[in-house]
Amino acid sequence: MILDNLTVLITGGTGSLGHAVISRLMTGEMGKPRKVIVFSRDELKQHEMRLRWLQPSPPIEDLRDFSPKDVLEFRMGDVRLYDTLMPALRKADIVVNAAALKQVPQCEYFPFEAVRTNILGPYNIVSAIREHRLPIQKVVTISTDKACKPVNVMGMTKAIQERLILSANLECPDTHFMAVRYGNVVASRGSVVPLFQKQLADNGQLTITSPDMTRFLLTLDQAVDTVFEALRFGAGGETLIPQVPSARVIDIAQAMVGSRTNGIKIIGIRPGEKIHEILISEEECRRTTERNDYYVIHSILPEIGQQNIESVRDEEYSSAENLLSPQEVQSLLARLGFCEADS
C-alpha cells in the first residue's frame, strides 16, 4: 500500500485535521507507515495527544497489526522556525502541511503572524527540500475556500501558500507538491458548530452574521479523504477540491437550537467576510478537470502538469449552489451528534 514503510510528517499535527489524519493512519487503510511524526508547537496538545495514543485507557479499538507506540513520534517545533523543522523533514518521505493560522478575525488583527505561519512556514518546507535535496516523495498542503478570490488576510496568505507550494514543483522536480482546498469542516476547532455549541452551553443566543450566508460543509473524515486522495492519485501542481454540498448558516443554527428558547441573533457581517464562499473561480474553471468525486485544478504555470485540458466547469463553484435543505442539514448534524434527529 502507498504508505508502507514510509515516514509521514504532519505539521500542525495536534490540530483537528492532524488528529483525524492520525486516527485514520493508525487503522492501516493507507498501509503500515514506518513512522508518523506529529509536529507542532503546542506543548499541552502534544502532551494530551501523547497520553491518548501511547497510554490509552481503555485501549483504542480498530487498530491494525501495529502499535501506535512503534509508529508515532512526537516532535515539538514550529514551521516558522527553519532549525526546528529541518530535523523532522530529514526523516520524512511524505509531508502533510496542516500547520495554519485560520481564525479570520485574529489574522485581521495580526496579519504578519498569519504571514509567518501560512507563507513563511511552507516556504521553509520548500527551502529545506531544495537546499538539502531531501528525498521527499510528496508534499500536500491544506488550503481553504477563502484562498479563492480572497478578501481577508487568512485567505490571502493561503492563496500565496498555494502558489508557493505548487511552483516548488519546478525547483524540486523529484518531489510532487500538491494542495487540497475545501470549505468548513464540521466540528473542527474554530468553526461555526463548536461556536454554536458553546453558545448553547452558556444559555446564550446563537449569533449569525447574515441570514443569507452560505458555507460549504464537509466532515473531518471527508477532509481526510481529500488528503488521502491527493496522496494516492495526485500529481505535482494539482489542487484537489472535494465535491461537497453547501448550507445556509441560519439552517445550521436552527437545527442546533431545536426546541430551545434561546433563539438566533443577527449580528452583521464581520470585516473580510463573504456572503458566499467560492472553491473554484471563473479563471480556474478553464484549468479544471474531474477525477473520482473531486475537481482537479491544474497549475497556472505551463511548465507544470496538463495543458490544453477539457474543462468540466463553465462557472465558479460557489457555496450558493447545491444547498442542503433545512431537513438535510438537521439530518447531517444529527448523524454527527450535534443535534437531535427530526421527529
Question: How far is CA 341 from each of CA 315, 326, 331, 334, rounded to the nearest angstrom?
Answer: 35, 12, 6, 5
| 14-39: average pLDDT | 95
Q: How confident is the model at residue 183 (pLDDT cuts 50, 70, 90)?
A: very high
Q: What is the pLDDT of residues 147-170, one digit of tens each?
A: 999 999 999 999 999 999 999 999
pLDDT number for residue 186: 87
- Of residues 33 and 260, which shows the higher confidence score? 33
Is residue 304 over pLDDT 70?
yes
pLDDT number for residue 272: 79
pLDDT number for residue 257: 85
| 57-74: average pLDDT | 72
Residue 45 lies in a domain: no
Of the residues 32, 69, 138, 146, only one is catalytic, namely: 146
Residue 326 lies in a domain: no
pLDDT number for residue 160: 98
Give percent of the chain above pLDDT 90: 75
Pick from 103-117, 144-158, 255-269, 280-294: least confident: 255-269
Q: How confident is the model at residue 105 (pLDDT cuts 50, 70, 90)?
A: confident
* Structural domain that includes position 289: 100-183+219-242+279-314
- Of residues 59 and 215, which shows the higher confidence score? 215
The structure's pTM equals 0.93
Is residue 246 over pLDDT 80?
yes
Which grid cell sits at 61?
Answer: 479499538
Residues 71 and 26: beta-carbon distance below 8 Å: yes
pLDDT number for residue 130: 97
pLDDT number for residue 46: 94
Residue 126 lies in a domain: yes
pLDDT number for residue 39: 98
What does pLDDT average to over the chain?
92
Residue ranges of alpha helices (H) inside the chain are 16-25, 43-54, 68-71, 82-91, 104-109, 111-115, 121-132, 153-171, 192-201, 220-233, 249-257, 282-285, 326-335
Beta bridge partners of 289: 296
pLDDT number for residue 305: 73
| 122-132: average pLDDT | 98
| 255-275: average pLDDT | 83
Domain count, the chain: 1
Amino acid at 109: Y
Residues 144 and 158: beta-carbon distance below 8 Å: yes
Residue 209 lies in a domain: no
pLDDT number for residue 61: 54
Q: How confident is the model at residue 57 (pLDDT cuts 50, 70, 90)?
A: low
pLDDT number for residue 270: 81
Query: What span, in angstroms and rounded, lies between the C-alpha atoms of 8 and 34?
Result: 8
Query: What span, in angstroms and rounded, lies between the C-alpha atoms of 83 and 75?
Result: 13
Is residue 47 over pLDDT 80?
yes
Give percent of the chain above pLDDT 70: 95
Catalytic residue check, 146? yes
Residue 92 lies in a domain: no
Residue 229 lies in a domain: yes
Give me the CATH number covering residue 108.
Answer: 3.40.50.720
Residue 46 lies in a domain: no
Residue 37 lies in a domain: no
Q: Can you give the three-state secondary structure of 168-194, one letter per residue?
A: HHHHCCCCEEEEEEECEECCCCCCHHH
